[in-house]
Chain A
Amino acid sequence: MIAFLACIVLFLIGLYAIVTKRNLIKIVIGFALMEYGINLLFALIGFRHGSVAPIITQIDMPRRFVDPVPQALVLTAIVIALGTTALMLAVALRIYNRYKTFDIAEIRKLKG
């Protein structure tokens, strides 16, 4: 329960950075933090005490494994997170190229 709540708090820290920060790089960092929080929550939900990783090493071994489904869901999501982060950074780089600042309030003023 405390472990789950810590993941939710990490998610909220990321959301805080997205909503209240004015620097574009900080906003991208906030997105990355939200992704970490959700990935970790999924992996923690699938854990069972006294179990091993879901890999069969002998045919007749006792199959007391942790839940493989959240791991399979998160495995792809981690790589996708890198792709989306890179896309957001490309947009930020383009904006910096045009306005010479990362401050979104300044960018809004310079519009026109």
Chain B
Amino acid sequence: MRGMSLVVKVVTNIVVGFIFIYGVYIILHGHLTPGGGFAGGVIIAGALVLRILAFGVEPVSEKRAEERASAFESLGALLFIGIAFAGLIIGGAFFLNFLPQGTPLRLLSGGIIPLCNIAIGIKVGAGLFTIFLALAAIKYVMED
């Protein structure tokens, strides 16, 4: 996949980091403000997609990126199920909120909710980026 013009590349270089940080912020504050794992994950996937669209990617490195993103997605899913089983082992119920509650309306509150948000954010972001790479960026599929 070819990249775009110089103007697009420079603007993308400036913007893409901020979009990524915004996605992380949305995930980490998911239990206090609108957002959460799903919204933040999709924003992170959007930042990665913007980078691919602007700079383009070689087929070889694209294959590697796809494998890495797919590994990240599995990591997110395992993290989510691991939190659920931790509740089962510690407290005897699947998805039990076993961590202390913390101060309400502070960042460190909500027990397992921020951890679940992080797991879902990794899973959704990596999963949607994998879909994009497989569907939109692979050129050689069409040549057979």
Contacts and interface: CB of A to CB of B under 8 A. Distances in A.
Consider the complex of A and B and state whether they touch directly, i.e. have CB atoms less than 8 Å apart.
yes
Interface of A: 53, 55-59, 75-76, 78-79, 82-83, 86, 89-90, 93, 97
Contacts of A86: 131, 135
Interface in B17-51: 32-34, 36, 38, 41-42
A90 B104 CA distance: 45
Nearest to B31: A55
A55 B29 CA distance: 12
B142 interface: yes
Nearest to A87: B131
Chain A contact residues: over half helix, strand or loop, or mixed?
A: helix
Interface string B2-14: 0000000000000
Indicate the size class of the contact surface on chain B: 10 to 19
Contacts of A58: 105
Given A89-B135, A90-B135, A56 B33 contact: no
Nearest to B38: A79
Given A59-B104, A97-B142, A75 B134 contact: no
Interface of B: 32-34, 36, 38, 41-42, 104-105, 124, 127-128, 131, 134-135, 141-142, 144
A59 B105 contact: yes
B42 A79 contact: yes
B123 to A, nearest CB: 10
B102 to A, nearest CB: 14
A55 B104 contact: no
Contact of A75 (B38, B131, B144): B38
Contact of B141 (A53, A78, A83, A97): A97
Contacts of A76: 38
B135 A93 contact: yes
Nearest to B104: A59
B52 to A, nearest CB: 15
B60 to A, nearest CB: 22
B91 to A, nearest CB: 23
A83 B41 CA distance: 13
Contact of B34 (A53, A78, A79, A82): A53
B120 to A, nearest CB: 9
B94 to A, nearest CB: 18
B66 to A, nearest CB: 14
Most buried by A among B124, B127, B131, B141: B131
